[in-house]
Structure 1
Amino acid sequence: MTALVESVDLDSLALAGDWLAALFTLGSMGLWFARRRAGARGRRWAASAALGVAGGGALTWGKRVEPDLTEVTREHLALTAAPLRIALLADLHAGRSDREKVARVVERTNSEAPDVVLLAGDFISGYELTDERRAKLEGLRGLRAPGGVFAVLGNHDSEPYGDDTPRRDAIAAVLTGFGYRVLHNEAVELRGDLWLAGVDEVQAGRADAKRALAAVPAGKKRLAVAHDWHALDEDVRFDLGLVGHTHGGQLCLPFTSVCAGPARDRPYVRGRHAWRRGGVLYVNRGIGLSKLPVRIGCRPELTLFELGPDAR
Structure 2
Amino acid sequence: MDLNKQISRRSFLKKLGKVIAGSALVGIVGQAYMKYIEPNWIEVTRQNINHPLIPPIFNDFKIVQFSDTHLGFQLDFDHFEKIIQTISKEEPDLIIFSGDLVDNLLSFYEYEEIVIYLNYLQAPYGKFAVYGNHDHGGWGTDKYKQIMEASNFKLLRNESQNIKIGNDGEIIIAGIDDAMLGQPDFEKTFSSIQERYFTLLISHAPDLIEDAKHYPVDFQISGHTHGGQIQLPFIGPLITPPYGQKYVEGSYDISDHLRLYVNRGLGTTRLPYRLLSRPEITIFTLKT
The answer to whether structure 1 residue 118 and structure 2 residue 96 are counterparts is yes
The answer to whether structure 1 residue 297 and structure 2 residue 269 are counterparts is no
The answer to whether structure 1 residue 184 and structure 2 residue 170 are counterparts is no
Task: Kindly provide the CA deviation profile for residues 185-231 of structure 1, in whole angstroms up to 9, marking residues without a partner as x.
Answer: 00001233410111111112411123213333332111000111234
Q: What's 1:172 paired with?
A: 145
The answer to whether structure 1 residue 69 and structure 2 residue 19 are counterparts is no
- 3-state secondary structure, aligned to 1:131: coil
C-alpha contact (below 8 Å) 2:204/2:224 kept by paired residues: yes
Q: What's 1:157 paired with?
A: 135
* Aligned match for 2:19, one of 29, 42, 47: 47
The answer to whether structure 1 residue 266 and structure 2 residue 245 are counterparts is yes
Q: Distance in 1 between matches of 2:108 and 2:115?
A: 10
Q: Structure 2 unaligned runs (5+)?
A: 1-8
Q: Distance in 2 between matches of 1:230 and 1:204?
A: 15
In the superposition, relative to structure 1, how do residues 220 and 259 fare at CA in structure 2: closer, same or farther (>3 Å)?
same
* Aligned match for 1:101, one of 79, 84, 91: 79
Following superposition, the deviation at residue 127 of structure 1 comes to 4.5
In the superposition, relative to structure 1, how do residues 218 and 273 fare at CA in structure 2: closer, same or farther (>3 Å)?
same
Q: What's 2:254 paired with?
A: 275
Following superposition, the deviation at residue 76 of structure 1 comes to 1.0
Q: Distance in 2 between matches of 1:48 and 1:184?
A: 54
C-alpha contact (below 8 Å) 1:213/1:222 kept by paired residues: no
Q: What's 1:287 paired with?
A: 266
Q: What's 1:24 paired with?
A: none
| RMSD (Å), alpha carbons | 2.3
Q: What's 2:204 paired with?
A: 227
Task: Kindly provide the CA deviation profile for residues 41-100 of structure 1, in whole angstroms up to 9, marking residues without a partner as x.
Answer: 333332222221111111111111111111100001213232211000000111122112
The answer to whether structure 1 residue 208 and structure 2 residue 208 are counterparts is no
Following superposition, the deviation at residue 107 of structure 1 comes to 0.9
- 3-state secondary structure, aligned to 2:163: strand
In the superposition, relative to structure 1, how do residues 134 and 268 fare at CA in structure 2: closer, same or farther (>3 Å)?
farther
C-alpha contact (below 8 Å) 1:63/1:295 kept by paired residues: yes
The answer to whether structure 1 residue 146 and structure 2 residue 146 are counterparts is no
Q: What's 2:29 paired with?
A: 57
Percentage identity across aligned positions? Answer: 28
C-alpha contact (below 8 Å) 2:223/2:262 kept by paired residues: yes
Query: Residue 196 of structure 1 aligns to which amino acid in structure 2?
Result: I
In the superposition, relative to structure 1, how do residues 215 and 58 fare at CA in structure 2: closer, same or farther (>3 Å)?
farther
Q: TM-score, normalised by structure 1?
A: 0.79
Q: Whose relative contact order is higher, 1 or 2, with alpha carbons under 8 Å and at least 6 apart?
A: 2
The answer to whether structure 1 residue 196 and structure 2 residue 173 are counterparts is yes
Q: Distance in 2 between matches of 1:112 and 1:200?
A: 28
